[in-house]
Amino acid sequence: MKATAWMGTDSVKVIDVPDPKIMNARDAIVRISTTAICGSDLHLYHGYIPAMRKGDILGHEFMGEVVEVGPQVRNLAPGDRVVVPFPIACGHCSSCQRGLYSVCENSNPNAGIAEKIMGHSPAGIFGYSHLLGGYAGGQAEYARVPFADVGPIKVPDEVSDDQAVMLADVFPTGYMGAEMCDIKPGQVIAVWGAGPVGLLAAASARLLGAERVIVIDRFPYRLRLAEEHIDAETINYDDVDVLDALNAMTAGRGPDACIDAVGLEGHHGNAAMYAYDRAKQAARVETERPFALRQAILACRSGGVVSVVGAYGGFVDKFPMGAFMNRSLVMRTGQCHVQRYTRPLLERIQRGEIDPSFIVSHRMPLRDAPKGYKIFQKKQDDCTKVLLKV
Ligand code: NAD
Ligand code: ZN
Ligand code: ZN
């Protein structure tokens, strides 16, 4: 089959690889129809995540048709149209039982104590390096889906591929970012990052009753999406001081909750993301552009919530602990427990409450994956989200 492979820093290629096979009684094989490139894939593209090997198949956002199931998969049958959550989760361990699927204890054989310190996902993730289980990804013609009796859900005909594939990651992630804010009627929610995750966090904040949503980014075309589709107010951090602007917009109090949908962002380089060299990290943060998490903490009103869905790894120094402690803030964070959200969010799409595909800017054939990575990384051609059609 054809698959998108990581070939080194800033290099992906569509190559021929063997078709995946059922390896476990709880596996399914899915013939992929639509798969997406994610901001998280850019961390791999930039070479910031160790333990990628040349030829590793990328992609953790995908959907398609079940073509084969192992003997213990009774909820799915060949012919079913499904979307697959990005965290691989067994459904039975103590984490999964608590609904904490992205910290499943049984899906990442490499989740040891060193990894705990370095800070990466304890669960396996499709197409996300050998630190996260070494699973082949879904930017391909077929994928093997472990624990298929737990993760994938069937998608009804009236929901399009473009809508359903958002359930693999970015819609649940944005929604979890908003849900963690514990939004009350009348509240003001600020979101750092107008990428797919930030835009869907902002849209979810609306669904959950926020009165005002403020979105912060530096790309006018992305901020326009927030204005047009979410009726959000926007701040361009290249033009104004974000803390001053937020103070002015909230009568000096600050937003009730702040969502970081940026993470240890790449455009000014995060090569030290996994470094143990703390001095190097500190120096880097000093020269960094506005650092979203730090700003989110400094901006938040006293007693408010800082919700972090942007991805981090390793150490983050220059954390404003004083402001955090003395103003009684709360922080909630995590890789998304996607399996918790797929059904309720599918129902919201079916009821017409939201169409998460408003973020999609590009659709192209799988063979154009290298071009897709390039324009998404460089934010060319007003690129917000690339779907690869297989
Ligand atoms: P993206 O790269 O398309 O979007 C990031 C946006 O942040 C860009 O528009 C960028 O201009 C903006 N930005 C950068 N620095 C900023 C700053 N200082 N202030 C405000 N905005 C800033 O990526 P995405 O697909 O939207 O993903 C966003 C983040 O979410 C990434 O870190 C990704 O790894 C993470 N993520 C986390 C989960 C999870 O489960 N928690 C799931 C998916 C993605
Ligand atoms: Zn993703
Ligand atoms: Zn589990």
Tell me the CATH number at 277.
3.40.50.720
Measured in Å, residue 38 CA sits from the centre of ligand 1 at: 9
pTM: 0.95
Measured in Å, residue 44 CA sits from the centre of ligand 1 at: 14
CB of residue 174 inside a 6 A radius of ligand 1: no
Q: What does DSSP assign to residue 217?
A: E
Predicted ipTM of the assembly: 0.99
Q: What's the pLDDT at 63?
A: 98
Cα 139 to chain centroid, rounded: 16
Q: What is the mean pLDDT of residues 48-59?
A: 91
Closest-lying ligand to the alpha carbon of 338? 1
Same domain, 135 and 212: no
Question: Three-state SS string across 229-248, please?
Answer: HHCCEEEECCCCCHHHHHHH
Token duo for residue 238: 């290249």
Q: What's the pLDDT at 265?
A: 63
Rounded-to-integer distance, Cα 348 and Cα 356, Å: 10
Rounded-to-integer distance, Cα 348 and Cα 163, Å: 11
> Which is higher by pLDDT, 338 or 120?
338
- The CATH number given to whatever domain includes residue 113 is 3.90.180.10
Same domain, 105 and 191: no
Same domain, 137 and 59: yes
Same domain, 185 and 251: yes
Q: Among the three residues 306, 333, 360, which one is the final residue of a domain in this structure?
A: 333
- Residue 280: is its pLDDT beyond 50? no
Contact 21, 69 (CB under 8 A): no
Same domain, 78 and 8: yes
Same domain, 329 and 348: no
In this predicted structure, which of 163-177, 199-213, 225-239, 318-332 has the lowest mean pLDDT?
A: 318-332
Q: What is the mean pLDDT of residues 53-62?
A: 98
Same domain, 137 and 124: yes
Q: Please, which pLDDT band fits residue 48 given cuts at 50, 70 and 90? A: confident
State the residue range of the domain holding 42: 2-169+336-389
Same domain, 219 and 296: yes
Measured in Å, residue 94 CA sits from the centre of ligand 3 at: 7
Rounded-to-integer distance, Cα 355 and Cα 371, Å: 26
Q: Please, which pLDDT band fits residue 211 given cuts at 50, 70 and 90? A: very high
- What is the number of the ligand 1 atom nearest to the C-alpha of 218? 11
Q: Among the three residues 313, 333, 353, which one is the final residue of a domain in this structure?
A: 333
Q: What is the mean pLDDT of residues 216-228?
A: 97
Query: Considering only CA atoms, which residue is closest to atom 44 of ligand 1?
Result: 40
Cα 85 to chain centroid, rounded: 11
Tens of pLDDT, residues 108-160: 988 877 677 777 778 999 999 998 999 999 999 999 999 999 999 999 999 99
Give how many domains the chain has, as a whole number. 2
Measured in Å, residue 169 CA sits from the centre of ligand 2 at: 5
CB of residue 324 inside a 6 A radius of ligand 1: no
In this predicted structure, which of 171-175, 239-243, 274-278 has the lowest mean pLDDT?
A: 274-278
Q: What's the pLDDT at 185?
A: 95
Measured in Å, residue 264 CA sits from the centre of ligand 1 at: 8
- Residue 100: is its pLDDT beyond 70? yes
Q: What is the mean pLDDT of residues 354-367?
A: 98
CB of residue 125 inside a 6 A radius of ligand 1: no
Same domain, 348 and 265: no
CB of residue 166 inside a 6 A radius of ligand 1: no
- What is the number of the ligand 1 atom nearest to the C-alpha of 87? 40
Q: Angle 31-32-38 (CA atoms, 0-180°, nearest 5)?
A: 150
Per cent of the chain over pLDDT 90 is: 84
Q: Please, which pLDDT band fits residue 285 given cuts at 50, 70 and 90? A: very low
Closest-lying ligand to the alpha carbon of 336? 1
Q: Which of 58, 197, 335, 360 to mutate to test the pocket of ligand 1 (most atoms within 8 A of CB)?
A: 197
Query: Considering only CA atoms, which residue is closest to atom 33 of ligand 1?
Result: 40
Question: What's the burial of 246, exposed, middle or buried (CB within 10 Å: 0-12/13-18/19+)?
Answer: buried
CB of residue 216 inside a 6 A radius of ligand 1: yes
- Residue 268: is its pLDDT beyond 50? no
Q: What is the mean pLDDT of residues 77-102?
A: 98
Query: Considering only CA atoms, which residue is closest to atom 23 of ligand 1?
Result: 39
Q: What is the mean pLDDT of residues 79-92?
A: 98
Same domain, 30 and 46: yes
Average pLDDT of the residues of the chain: 92
Q: What is the signed CA dihedral for 62, 64, 68, 74, rounded to 10 degrees?
A: 90
Q: What's the pLDDT at 291?
A: 81
Closest-lying ligand to the alpha carbon of 124? 3
Measured in Å, residue 223 CA sits from the centre of ligand 1 at: 13
Please name the helix (run of DSSP H) or strand (run of DSSP E) that holds residue 386, with its range, or none: strand 386-389
Measured in Å, residue 85 CA sits from the centre of ligand 2 at: 10
Tens of pLDDT, residues 300-335: 999 999 999 998 877 777 778 999 999 999 999 999
Q: Which residues pair with 307 in a beta bridge?
A: 259, 332
Closest-lying ligand to the alpha carbon of 311? 1
- Residue 277: is its pLDDT beyond 50? no
Measured in Å, residue 104 CA sits from the centre of ligand 3 at: 4
Strand segments, DSSP code E, in 177-290 are: 188-192, 212-217, 233-236, 257-260
Contact 215, 199 (CB under 8 A): yes
What backbone phi and psi angles, to 5 degrees, belong to 205? -60, -40
Same domain, 310 and 202: yes
Q: Among the three residues 286, 310, 333, which one is the final residue of a domain in this structure?
A: 333
Q: Which of 265, 307, 340, 383 to mutate to test the pocket of ligand 1 (most atoms within 8 A of CB)?
A: 265
Same domain, 243 and 382: no
Q: What's the pLDDT at 274?
A: 40
